[in-house]
Amino acid sequence: MANSIRIILLTAALLTTAHASAAEIKVLAYNAVNIPARELAAAFTKETGHQVGFTFGSPGPVNDRLKAGEIFDLVIMATEAAAARDASWRAGTRRPLVRVGIGLAVREGVGLDLSSVESTRKALTEARSLTLSDSATGGLSGPNALKVLANLGIAETVKPKLRLTNNGQELIGSGDIDIGLYNVSEIPRAKGVALAGPVPAAVQVYIVYDAAVPLTNADPEPALALTRYLSRAVTRPVWIKGGLEPAGE
């Protein structure tokens, strides 16, 4: 009986200590990682007790928050943007996390042959209309989609039927546009839309997202623990389900 009481008290003490040392990690991140990052953070919280709070946004607003001096414990943003702010991070904390390529969005029930560069080129040139994101707010999928069209050698050919818009997936769902080129992780984002698949590797263009700890984070270990957790091999299926890939692939 005495031993049982001691075990109960020890367990309670350990739980109290763990709770007392739990941190709240404030993360600023691009929208592209939203769904898988939330799922993985919930699992991380169960394992460590650390709470994770996210602020998501498109590249423009995320950069504006950092410029305005808002304080976060961890930032997840495109490599180029993170590299441009290298002086803002704690030394050695910036690392590639995940990447995302361009995929084709179509209306549900529509099939496309994306098995080769030629079949993908044929699908896009024969489509009645195409769309991709307007990059006016700093979004990166639009410029990368244009690079894919250039890699396919059809940028000028499809230009007359290409619409830059921020509601392209809604227009695909309604049947007003045939195909959209977006980050795989952003498809579908509207009713009636499906992911036909990623473009072939030979013409693919990736955005790599880095995780970095700001200099303003005086206690970086919880944020670093989260970064390590998000980089574990066992998290790969969650990232893949969300349309992203571990950056090393």
Give the DSSP letter string of 132-146: E--GGG--SHHHHHH
Provide mean pLDDT across the span 137-145.
Answer: 83
Is 70 exceeded by the pLDDT of residue 16? Answer: no
Identical fold at 2-97+208-246 and 102-203?
yes
What architecture is the 102-203 domain classified under in CATH? 3-Layer(aba) Sandwich (3.40)
Number of neighbours of residue 197 by Cβ within 10 angstroms = 17
Is 60 exceeded by the pLDDT of residue 6? Answer: no
* Weakest mean pLDDT among 82-91, 132-141, 217-226: 132-141
The reported pLDDT for the residue numbered 4 is 52
Q: 18: pLDDT confidence band, cut at 50, 70 and 90?
A: very low
The reported pLDDT for the residue numbered 209 is 97
Provide mean pLDDT across the span 61-80.
Answer: 97
Asked if residue 131 lies in contact with residue 164, where contact means CB atoms within 8 angstroms, the answer is: yes
**How many residues make up the chain in this entry?**
249
Provide mean pLDDT across the span 4-31.
Answer: 65
Q: Which residue has the tokens 């691009």?
A: 30
pLDDT, mean over the chain = 92
The reported pLDDT for the residue numbered 236 is 97
- CATH H-level, domain 2-97+208-246: superfamily: Periplasmic binding protein-like II (3.40.190.10)
Predicted TM-score (pTM) of the model is: 0.83
Is 60 exceeded by the pLDDT of residue 171? Answer: yes
Is 70 exceeded by the pLDDT of residue 19? Answer: no
Percent of the chain topping pLDDT 90: 84
pLDDT in tens, 208-229: 999 999 999 999 999 999 999 9
Rg of the chain in Å (alpha carbons): 22
First to last CA, the chain: 55
pLDDT in tens, 152-162: 999 999 999 99
Orientation angle between helical segments 34-48 and 221-230, nearest 10 degrees: 120
The reported pLDDT for the residue numbered 8 is 46
Q: Would you kindly state where each structural domain of the chain is located, as residue ranges?
A: 2-97+208-246, 102-203
| CA-wise closest residue to 32 among 54, 50, 52, 64 | 54
Alpha helices in 95-162 (DSSP H): 117-126, 141-151, 155-158
d(CA 42, CA 39): 5
